[in-house]
A and B are shown apart, each in its own frame.
Chain A
Amino acid sequence: QQQVKQSPQSLIVQKGGIPIINCAYENTAFDYFPWYQQFPGKGPALLIAIRPDVSEKKEGRFTISFNKSAKQFSLHIMDSQPGDSATYFCAARLWGGADGLTFGKGTHLIIQP
């Protein structure tokens, strides 16, 4: 019930392409959905987050699409660059926030020059 399923596990995209990472959840009590970027040896860095009452949110080159009825959300990276190569995690927070964040297993993204 509290799982967040993330796919694909790994992804290779050419520079300038649009990588898309997908996440799905079951628990409708999740009310906050952030995406994190993590480089080796570093902690996760918040990229962008969305609430379930919004279907799309853009911040710079990053876009979240949210489908509440399907219980799915995805991250799109526009004009991808080699510097975007990292591991990306989706996460979800239960209403109230006392249970912290539930993370997906991550997507290892490589942007080829």
Chain B
Amino acid sequence: ETGVTQSPTHLIKTRGQQVTLRCSSQSGHNTVSWYQQALGQGPQFIFQYYREEENGRGNFPPRFSGLQFPNYSSELNVNALELDDSALYLCASSLAGIGYTFGSGTRLTVV
């Protein structure tokens, strides 16, 4: 049984650019959610995908968007990057909202 894998592990982008982060779900999990974790804070819910549709969203602007693929893997896209977008981005997979398993995250730095 494989866990949740995320890529890349680290990324540096310039303000105004766009970025795509990727996540492979744990085997058997059908739901993927994304979180933003600022330094010294708890993760903040961005959105969740189930059956390739977004079925829940936190307090994040539309420039944060995503996709879920038929194999349950997922992407997080962020447009028009701002300095405050610098954070650890975490992907979590679950089966029907139970047993959220997190990946190790992508550390995004916006300069």
Identify the A interface with B (CB < 8 A).
Answer: 6, 32, 34, 36, 41-46, 49, 89, 91, 93, 96-106
Contacts and interface: CB of A to CB of B under 8 A. Distances in A.
Contact of B101 (A46, A89, A96, A98): A46
A99 B47 CA distance: 7
Nearest to A90: B42
A18 B83 CA distance: 40
Contacts of B99: 46, 49
Among all A-B residue pairs, the 8 with the closest Cβ atoms = A97-B97, A103-B42, A98-B56, A100-B45, A43-B102, A100-B33, A43-B104, A98-B55
Which secondary structure dominates chain B's binding surface?
strand
B103 interface: yes
Interface residues of B, number: 30
Contacts of B100: 34, 46, 101
Given A42-B105, A99-B56, A105-B42, 20 more contacts: A6-B42, A41-B104, A43-B4, A44-B43, A45-B102, A49-B99, A89-B42, A89-B43, A93-B97, A97-B96, A97-B97, A98-B48, A98-B56, A99-B45, A99-B58, A100-B48, A100-B56, A100-B58, A101-B35, A102-B45
